[in-house]
Amino acid sequence: MKWFSINGILTEMKRIRWPKAKDLFHDSGICVVFVLFLGIFFFVGVDVATNFISSKLMSIRFGWSDEQVKFAPQVYFLSRTIGALLGAFLLTRIAEMRYFRINIVACVVSLLVLIGVEKDVVNIVCIGAVGFFASSVFSIIYSMALQACPEKANQISGLMITAVAGGGVVTPVVGFAIGTVGIIGGVVVTLACVLYLTYCAFGIKVTSCVK
């Protein structure tokens, strides 16, 4: 379990061949992979941030007790689990990019409703909706990256796993936003991450870099 530590993670990151600037400009496949790397980075940020925000939002907005607010992250994780299971089934019948686009748009709508509507039932449903609609994003982006450069699958796999650091980067930003402008600031940061994922869904065209 030595790898499951700060030193272990840093060691694994040093083994990865990170793309250089000239690689990004001269190899469109590597450029796409780097954009998708940031997609997973921000996806993990959304995942951790939503879990972090959910209980705080219900407490600040509606004065829920410490016992009551535990329900919010439970709804989020349950919805995410259901979404992942359903997604595994639907992705065998629906094109992954179509599924990605439908779900990411629904995720944006859920966060906008969460920002604009202050009703506890609506907010808890929106928290669950974010978990449900974002549940398959990781696997889809990972698949897109492998399709972009299939001959570099091992390098891409290592690169994508390091993107989980997004949870440790986005969450402090969310905390700062909450401390500065209130709970809505944290939701807006989360929305910004989802908007980047929206770009990945609609703005990235994956073509293999195999020559």
* Residue type for position 170: V
Above 80 in pLDDT, residue 17?
A: no
Predicted local confidence at residue 196, as pLDDT:
96
Please count the other Cβ atoms lying within 10 Å of the Cβ belonging to residue 153.
11
Question: From CA 47, how far away is CA 87, in angstroms rounded?
Answer: 17
pLDDT digit string (tens) for 127-140? 999 999 999 999 99
Above 90 in pLDDT, residue 110?
A: yes
Q: Which pTM does this prediction carry?
A: 0.83
**Under 8 Å between Cβ of 21 and 31:** no
pLDDT digit string (tens) for 93-107? 999 999 999 999 999
Least confidently predicted of 7-11, 39-43, 61-65, 168-172: 7-11
**Under 8 Å between Cβ of 4 and 161:** no
Above 80 in pLDDT, residue 19?
A: no
Average pLDDT, the chain: 86
Higher pLDDT, 1 or 57: 57
Residues 6+ away with beta carbon under 8 Å from 63: none
Q: What is the mean pLDDT of residues 3-17?
A: 53
Q: How far is CA 184 from the centre of its chain?
A: 19
Q: What is the mean pLDDT of residues 49-67?
A: 93
| Reported confidence tier of residue 16, pLDDT bands at 50, 70, 90 | low
**Under 8 Å between Cβ of 207 and 195:** no
Angle, helix 183-203 to helix 28-62, in steps of 10 degrees: 150
